Amino acid sequence: MIIFLISLYICIIMHELAHLLAAKFVKCKVEVFSIGFGKELFRFKLGGTIYRFALFPLGGYNKLKDELSYSRSKYAFTNLSYRKKMLVILAGCFVNIFMGAITFLIGHKLGIYNLLYFGWLSFILGITNLIPFPALDGSYVFLVWLEKFYGKKKGYKIMNKICLIGFIILMVLNIACIPLLIWMVMKGMI
């Protein structure tokens, strides 16, 4: 269980760090970089971004400036070109997939179980985040087109509602899976 939680925490940090670096690279302001949910363990502010770490490593996020709302700011996510939006959106998935594949292969070659485990977890996290379900990274590839059909104001308002519903569904599924996770740990499957 400890190896699972440490691996998951590292995978999430890598994923969110890739989003953060991609956003900063394209000059999009990142207001909050968060790892985990629930009770905040600690936070600090650096370069206009609040970095926070919370107790439950069931995910993380980067709050980009005006990510799902109309804005006139040149640093807002909504005002990036489609190509730059895709770089920011997909960076986390690609880092998890790439690092997962490399780590898995190294672990397999050297026979190191922990590396195999970490590599597999990272790879799966990257692939599942590409699923086009609202609130997952893969959905934004399609959802950002709502601004083309409805304009920025209405398009991002619709996108915000879709992502909120998707996020609620994902959190309910995460919580519902906790008993399964506990059972798997007790059986030695994790």
Q: Could you tell me the sign of the dihedral formed by the alpha carbons of 124, 127, 100, 5, in that order? A: negative
- List active site positions: 16
Residue 17's CB is within 10 A of a number of other CB atoms, namely: 17
Q: Do residues 139 and 152 touch, judged by C-beta distance below 8 A?
A: no
What lies within 8 Å, CB to CB, of 78 at 6+ separation is 66, 67, 68, 69, 70, 71, 147, 152, 156
- How many whole angstroms separate alpha carbon 83 and alpha carbon 25? 13
Give strand pairing partners of 43. 52
- How many whole angstroms separate alpha carbon 31 and alpha carbon 47? 10
Give strand pairing partners of 38. none
Q: Find where tokens 């502010």 sit.
A: 45
